[in-house]
């Protein structure tokens, strides 16, 4: 990790021929994905493992990297990445029931409350 940001997966140097996908969440650029990994912004790097926003953005980055590799159809969109992260992190069975304690449930799932609300609305 560096002062400017953190590296989650990639090792080695970036090539000028690499394709990079920026990831925006809540109107802020929060990460950049490459075929082999993800770079988080300093604000998210400094948060602990399990932080809801950090976890959610990492899953958005997994989606972006899958699109870059051609494993998922493109083009990339932040909205589609958010859907992917919600499906990956929020069990569908949970959404079939009324949730009395939305904030507690989001905390246990390590997802932002707003994303749990969005998943319930879909």
Taking the C-alpha atoms of residue 57 and residue 68, their distance in angstroms, rounded to an integer, is: 16
Q: What is the pLDDT, as a whole number, of residue 1? A: 39
Residues 6+ apart with CB under 8 A from 21: 32, 33, 34, 64, 65, 67, 68, 76
Model confidence over 8-49: pLDDT tens digits? 545 445 444 558 999 999 999 999 999 988 999 999 999 999
Q: What is the pLDDT, as a whole number, of residue 121? A: 83
Structure tokens that stand for 12 in this block: 């080695």
- Mean pLDDT throughout 65-84? 95
Taking the C-alpha atoms of residue 106 and residue 45, their distance in angstroms, rounded to an integer, is: 20
Residue 110 φ/ψ region, left for φ over 0, alpha for ψ in the -120 to 50 degree band, beta for the rest: left
Model confidence over 81-106: pLDDT tens digits? 999 999 999 998 878 777 778 888 89
Predicted model pTM:
0.82
**Extents of the domains making up the chain:** 6-89
């Amino acid at each position: 990790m560096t002062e400017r940001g953190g590296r989650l997966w990639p090792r080695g140097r970036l090539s000028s021929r690499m394709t990079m996908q920026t990831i925006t969440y809540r109107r802020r650029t929060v990460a950049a994905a490459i075929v082999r990994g993800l770079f988080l912004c300093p604000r998210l790097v400094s948060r602990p493992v399990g932080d809801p926003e950090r976890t959610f953005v990492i899953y958005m980055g997994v989606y972006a990297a899958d699109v870059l590799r051609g494993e998922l159809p493109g083009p990339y969109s932040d909205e589609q990445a958010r859907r992917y992260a919600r499906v990956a992190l929020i069990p569908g069975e949970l959404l079939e029931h009324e949730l009395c304690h939305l904030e507690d449930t989001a905390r246990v799932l390590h997802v932002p409350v707003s994303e749990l609300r969005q998943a319930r609305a879909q």
